[in-house]
Structure 1
Amino acid sequence: MITAVIIDDERHSVETLAWKLEKHCPEVQVSSTFTDPVEGLEFLQETKPDLLFLDIEMPRLNGFELLKKIVPIPFDVIFTTAYDEFGVKAIKFSALDYLLKPVQVDELKTAIEKHRQKVNTQLTSTQLKVLFSNIQEEKQGRPGKIALATKESIEFVFPEEIIACSSDSNYTMVYLENGRKKLISRTLKDIEELLSEYQFFRAHHSHLVNLRHVKEFVRNDGGYLIMSNQMTLPVSRSRREELLKQF
């Protein structure tokens, strides 16, 4: 049985999520709910659930501020948030889990299954440091660090350190500066959405490139790019014209 706590200042959101968990995720037992984040914090300082569903924007104490007061955090966290709320980008970059309101049943089930499959269900100090750092960067309109999660570890890098990304089924090979590369458990589409604001371009259905690292476009052999690490990547015919407009 997974014990869970819900903290959200909207009573309707709390009741709806608790009902969906009871009906569709019977392995989850909601032990307590709070609409006052300060009361929720006091409870968490005394009792440790397996899982916390945490709203971001709340009066008196927002979700991020609440977590700062608990570090280290001995439980897993799933943020519940509106699509356009501040902090969503920081959460995505930090490879933390979140659900968009109104919470959809299939997404809720997926989040619970991800929690069950985690080897370590606690937020690491590194994840939290990067999350809080990314929040500050978001406030300043700057890119934060993106989490590259492999089976063995999570590495956090700035977008400009990424040279290119290549699809490998449901995984993505990320090529980094200094000859490093990481096979991460995210699809290329996921990475493209994360990096869309930072001069990355889908040059081919299997390749996403950082335009800052493009050294040369060669028209021969169907057209390909030479990157800063000397790797060559093909360019789809349908993408050539759009690619050249980027320079």
Structure 2
Amino acid sequence: MTNHEPQLSVLLVDDEIEACRNLKSILLEFVDPDIKILGVAHNTAEAEKQLNIHNPDAVFLDIEMPNENAFQFLERVAPINFEVVFVTAYDEYAVRAFKLNAVDYILKPISITELANAVTKLKERIKYKSLLNTNTNDFTNVSKQITHKSKLNRITLKGNNNNVELVAFTDILYVEACGKYSKVFFLRHDVLAEILTSYAISDYEELLPSALFYRIHKSFLINCNLIKQIHKDDTTSIVMHHSVTIPVSRRRFSSLLEFLQTKPVYND
């Protein structure tokens, strides 16, 4: 740990004893040996007691647990003065998790890279929270830093074949509805890639930043920063980065133009 990095204090919460052991082992052996693990809880009642005793910086939290799930638990112990990283076998709760401003959402089996990324983001949030508390004369500047550093700027995409991609919002070209599923098209080292996910396009419309993405058609949600041209002939279409052409719904064309003229600047 460097002198400039905060030491993390964390609580691990999972009803499976082996899952907690595995998470603790990966954190200490492969991610950061200086992480201070204050306690381990195997149900939410035990977790609440540990929170009151230890006051951790963050909680690594499973979702599906006996008697009470993670969301019910967080609602019950609110206001929350700790950061949350969800670690779960279920991908269907991601949208709800990020609405709670979770630092990250990690799917089991745990990827060391994903866990390391989550810890890095945790340290950033805690560092700037500390600055806010100790530099009250520079409150405005530090608040801007906190907002910039701590906001979510990428998404974990899990395909139906269990392939997982960690993608920056700015690298997502568009999302296409495929029945109950969605295809997400994104840039991987400037090469166009795609992944079929189990989320509906409406989930992505809610999760992705509204300053960057716009629903131009019932089947398409696009990254407006990657628009190259707009064609309006008999049918209206948009040419995106990589020469991808996407149709625009007639009834959404005017609102799209208005959005492009007035949309706020998105800074990742």
TM-score, reference length from structure 2: 0.53
Alignment match, 2:224 = 211
Aligned with residue 236 of structure 1, among 229, 243, 249 = 249
2:82 maps to which residue? Answer: 62
- TM-superposed CA distance for 1:158, in Å, is 0.7
Written as runs of structure 1 = structure 2, the 5 A alignment for 1:60-139 is: 62=82, 64=84, 88-90=100-102, 94-95=104-105, 121-134=108-121, 136=124, 139=146
CA drift at 1:197: 3.1
Shift of 1:86: 9.5
Match of 2:157 in 1: 148
Post-superposition offset of 1:32: 6.1
Structure 1 residue ranges without an equivalent (≥5): 6-28, 42-49, 97-119
How far does residue 132 in structure 1 lie from its aligned partner after superposition? 4.2
Question: One-letter code of the match for 2:101?
Answer: K
Aligned length: 180
Q: Contact (CA 8 Å) 1:133, 1:144: kept in 2 or not?
A: no
Please say if residues 90 and 144 of structure 1, whose CA atoms lie closer than 8 Å, have aligned partners that are also in contact. no
Alignment-derived partner of residue 181 in structure 1: 194
Structure 2: runs of 5 or more not aligned: 1-13, 18-41, 55-63, 126-144, 262-268
1:168 equivalenced with 2:178 (yes/no): yes
The 1:179–1:87 alpha-carbon spacing in structure 2 relative to 1, beyond 3 Å, is closer
Task: Mark the CA change 1:164 to 1:239 in structure 2 (over 3 Å): closer, same or farther.
Answer: same
Write the distance in 1 (CA, Å) between the matches of 2:83 and 2:231. Answer: 49
CA distance in 2 between counterparts of 1:86 and 1:174 reads 18
CA distance in 2, matches of 1:145, 1:216: 26
Q: CA deviation at 1:220?
A: 1.3
Q: Separation in 2 of the partners of 1:217 and 1:31?
A: 52
Q: 2:30 maps to which residue?
A: none
Q: Which residue is equivalent to 1:19?
A: none
CA RMSD across the alignment: 4.3
- One-letter amino acid of the counterpart of residue 168, structure 1: C
Identity of aligned residues (%): 20
The answer to whether residue 214 in structure 2 is matched with residue 201 in structure 1 is: yes
TM norm structure 1: 0.57
Give the secondary-structure state (helix, strand or coil) at the position aligned to 1:89: coil
| Larger helix fraction of residues | 2
